Amino acid sequence: MAGSSTAGGAAGGSSTAGGSTAGGSTAGGSTAGGSTAGGSTAGGSTAGGSTAGGSTAGGSTAGGSTAGGSTAGGSTAGGSTAGGAAGGSPGRLHAFVGSGNGNITAYSVDVATGALTLLGVTNGGANPSFLAFDVGRNRLYAANEGSSQIAAFTLSSDAGLTLLNRVGSQGNGPAHVSVDPSGRWVFAANYGGGNVAVLRVTDGGLGAATDTEASGGQAHQIISDATGRFVYVPCKAANHVAQYRFDADAGQLTPLSPATVATAANAGPRHLALHPSGAWAFLINELDDTLTSLRVEADGRLTPVDTKSTLPVGFSGASNTTAEVQVHPNGRFVYGSNRGHNSIVAFSVDAANGSLTLLGHTPTGGTTPRHFDIDPSGRLMLVGNQGSGTVHGFRIDASTGALTTLGQRAAVNSPAFVGFTSLP
């Protein structure tokens, strides 16, 4: 892993919801460069493949099933996703990108080289800034942040999408969408509204909300644990993580006691990822550039354990905000993205006590890395550089956690979400 190599460049601050991407920083600054721990430069060949040509694309995930069956975002039947899914048999690897221009773009992925081949582009609605899916039910769900709706699509085995319906997210500017492990419920976190909603999955797409909860200002994410019993909501403005018990029969959330876990003042908690063992959680804090490990108690409560800076010692560049956090499928490493430093930071995880040890920083090959994902096998990482409009591929060393650029990239308008999934 490249030790403390800076990327430079400005990322800007977080935009508000209600049309703009939640928590997304504005573009700007110099590109991150391309050097990585492996010494090779970023860039390289562009994604090949046929042009969109009006064909539909589909599917999305941000996470992937792990060896243990759980993921950073919980689990659902039939496939992997950052919004909450795990399990499913191996299939053909695909990558999906949600963009600020309203498109969802689909690629096939060469596992050996990381090469991306364009399959097609689908109109995903008003700013599909986060995607989640359930491969077992052939479904994809998109948070339409600009229209305060959640869209439901059918997802075909050739990565095609067909719109089923759109329903209100029950609040302003949904920044995140996920699926509970049973696949019967979809969760929405409303960044502008400071609340969350539980939506029923129906044959026709999504039905009416069965519950809404005032989780806290700027609710940035909502995820279930792998068992489906507990739900967590990082709230950036409230500086806490709301924690709930979930009744998967009634579709109801009940606050735990205490109802929230506080972060440091002005930390700006943004996203949470769960360890494959279910014993630990990792919270990335957007505003103070830190990553916190938390113990997951038997009753679902979160207890903070360790907090580390996501930036190298002595960093004096432009302002930085963090964005995404992911756990490697083997549970040994945690990664976070720095917008401004334009890097992926890597930590090792002590399986016994949840403490974090900094491994290093790898430039992302572009600016403003808002979202990234690790494929289900743990071999590949894709990083969406929102500011520079590029998606870059990296190889992951599963024994050391180091990232090496693959020289593979794709040009995508303002990528807000990028993720892997395997289709049968």
Question: Higher pLDDT residue, 88 or 210?
Answer: 210
- Residue pair 95/118 in contact (Cβ under 8 Å)? The answer is no
Query: Does the structure show a pLDDT above 80 at 54?
Result: no
Indicate the range of 158-162, 216-220, 378-382, 394-398 predicted with least confidence. Answer: 158-162
Q: Where are the domains of the chain?
A: 45-268+375-423
Output the CA angle 156-158-163, nearest 5 degrees. 40
Q: What is the mean pLDDT of residues 258-265?
A: 98
Query: Does the structure show a pLDDT above 50 at 44?
Result: no
Q: What is the mean pLDDT of residues 36-45?
A: 34
Indicate the range of 200-209, 316-325, 398-407 predicted with least confidence. Answer: 316-325
Beta-bridge partner residues of 21: none
Q: What pLDDT does residue 316 have?
A: 81
Query: Does the structure show a pLDDT above 50 at 25?
Result: no
Tell me the pLDDT band of 91, cut-offs 50, 70 and 90. Answer: confident
The span from the CA of 421 to the CA of 140, in Å, is 11
Output the CA angle 152-154-156, nearest 5 degrees. 150
Taking phi over 0 as left and psi of -120 to 50 as alpha, with beta for the rest, 233 belongs to beta
Tell me the pLDDT band of 45, cut-offs 50, 70 and 90. Answer: very low
Backbone angles phi, psi at 198, to 5 degrees: -110, 125
Query: Does the structure show a pLDDT above 90 at 178?
Result: yes
Tell me the pLDDT band of 90, cut-offs 50, 70 and 90. Answer: low
Average pLDDT of the residues of the chain: 83
Which tokens hold the place of 393? Answer: 């591929």
Query: Does the structure show a pLDDT above 60 at 107?
Result: yes
Indicate the range of 78-82, 353-357, 415-419 predicted with least confidence. Answer: 78-82
Beta-sheet strand order (sheet of 269-274): 269-274, 280-285, 290-296, 302-309
Which tokens hold the place of 89? Answer: 């048999």
- Residue pair 212/222 in contact (Cβ under 8 Å)? The answer is no
Q: How many percent of the chain have pLDDT more than 70?
A: 79
- Residue pair 133/81 in contact (Cβ under 8 Å)? The answer is yes
Q: What pLDDT does residue 211 have?
A: 98
Question: Higher pLDDT residue, 19 or 303?
Answer: 303
The span from the CA of 187 to the CA of 321, in Å, is 25
- Residue pair 188/149 in contact (Cβ under 8 Å)? The answer is no
Give 135's DSSP letter.
G
pLDDT tens for 278-322 read 999 999 999 999 999 999 999 999 999 999 999 999 898 779 999
Query: Does the structure show a pLDDT above 70 at 405?
Result: yes
Q: What is the mean pLDDT of residues 241-260?
A: 98
Beta-bridge partner residues of 168: 149
> Residue 163 is which amino acid?
L
The span from the CA of 14 to the CA of 150, in Å, is 22
Of the candidates 90, 99, 83, 61, the one whose C-alpha atom is nearest the C-alpha of residue 411 is 99
Q: How many residues does the chain have?
A: 424
Question: Higher pLDDT residue, 243 or 20?
Answer: 243
As assigned by CATH, the class of the 45-268+375-423 domain is mainly beta
